[in-house]
Amino acid sequence: MDYNHGKLLNKGDTVGLTAPAGPVKADKLEAAINVIKEMGFEVEIGQTCFVNYGGYLAGPPELRARELNAMFANPNISAIFCLRGGYGSPQLLHMLDYELIFRHPKLFIGYSDITALHIALQQQSKLATIHGPMPASDLIEADEFTKAHLQNVLMHPRQLRVMKNPGEKQIGCLVPGFAQGILTGGNLTLITSLLGTPYEIETKGKILFLEDIAEEPYKIDRMLTQLALAGKFSDVAGIILGTWTNCTSKEGQESFQVEDLFEKIIAPYNKPTIYNVQAGHCKPALTLPFGEVAYVDATNKTFLLGV
């Protein structure tokens, strides 16, 4: 499948800032706007960025969906940043104008709860999206590696990139071998929540990326098992496992750990698999362009991304 790639950004371009999931306080919104301007872009701020609806949503679903549709349709907006994650993105999926979005492809950036939108936009609008840091939850406190890697993906010509972890963190091999395929995936909780819906993730022949945060091992076990029963590991080309921040058992509780679950649930499918890729709820973090071809050399603990 050929994916539509939004136009790369240049300094001075206008980006839309929208909140398709959770709300933020005024001080964080101001800081988020400032950090985007410091990156060299102008900002068009969506109404959702100012709304708190029910304490955990940035407005009614209709408002959030309408705003996202409008930002894709707006010719003055070159890319769309999701303000933060939280909860609420799946509420929009049946309200988005996927044909409009197909006709107006743009860079779309976010992660975590935004995974629901990544999957829907990839599969319904053939849009290549970007799993990357968000202004209010990440960029206002981001390190230089995280900012630079994001800007490289947003602004530099698409080419084959060797993806390397920041610092001393090493990528590990769970299952050796080589695989290539379109990169898709995101947050495990969101991916699992879409199973059985029209927006269920398509993994056949693809490289599946997974990450999560603050889920105890038994919950990770349940979700990985559900993906396995749904056939999502049997039909992938390969797997990239990101960070699993605070996904540990309660203190004093005897339990498998996440790494044990990878061995028990994922490894038996014998798909080339790497782990400890620094992408997800971590600092510093890699930006992953979904919709590009990923080349996973699990034996040598490396992967590349390219058009």
pLDDT tens digits along 76-125: 999 999 999 999 999 999 999 999 999 999 999 999 999 999 999 999 99
Residue with tokens 């390969």: 238
Token representation of residue 242: 């990101």
With contact defined as beta carbons under 8 Å apart, do 301 and 164 qualify?
no
Q: What is the pTM of this model?
A: 0.97
Mean pLDDT over 38-52 rounds to 98
Token representation of residue 81: 């940043």
Q: Which residues of 151-162 are buried (b: 16+ CB within 10 A; e: fewer)?
A: bebbbeeeeebe
With contact defined as beta carbons under 8 Å apart, do 306 and 159 qualify?
yes
Which amino acid is it at 111? Y
5, 104, 211, 292: the active-site residue:
211
Q: What is the pLDDT of residues 160-207, one digit of tens each?
A: 889 999 988 999 999 999 999 999 999 999 999 999 999 999 999 999
Rounded distance between C-alpha atoms, residue 5 and residue 49, angstroms = 26
DSSP class per residue in 89-105: GGGGGGGS-HHHHHHS-
pLDDT of residue 1: 62
pLDDT band at 219 (very low <50, low <70, confident <90, very high): very high
Question: What are the CA-CA distances from residue 10 to residues 14, 58, 106, 229, 242 (Å)?
Answer: 9, 29, 13, 44, 29
| 204: number of Cβ within 10 Å | 11
Q: Which long-range contacts (CB under 8 A, 24 or more apart) does 252-255 make?
A: 255/216, 255/217, 255/218
Mean pLDDT over 9-19 rounds to 98
211 is catalytic: yes
118, 215, 281, 292: the active-site residue:
281
* Alpha-carbon Rg for the chain in angstroms: 18
Percent of the chain with pLDDT over 70: 99
Mean pLDDT over 230-247 rounds to 98
pLDDT of residue 159: 82
112 is catalytic: yes
112, 118, 131, 215: the active-site residue:
112
Mean pLDDT over 215-232 rounds to 98
| CA 117 to chain centroid | 9
78 is catalytic: no
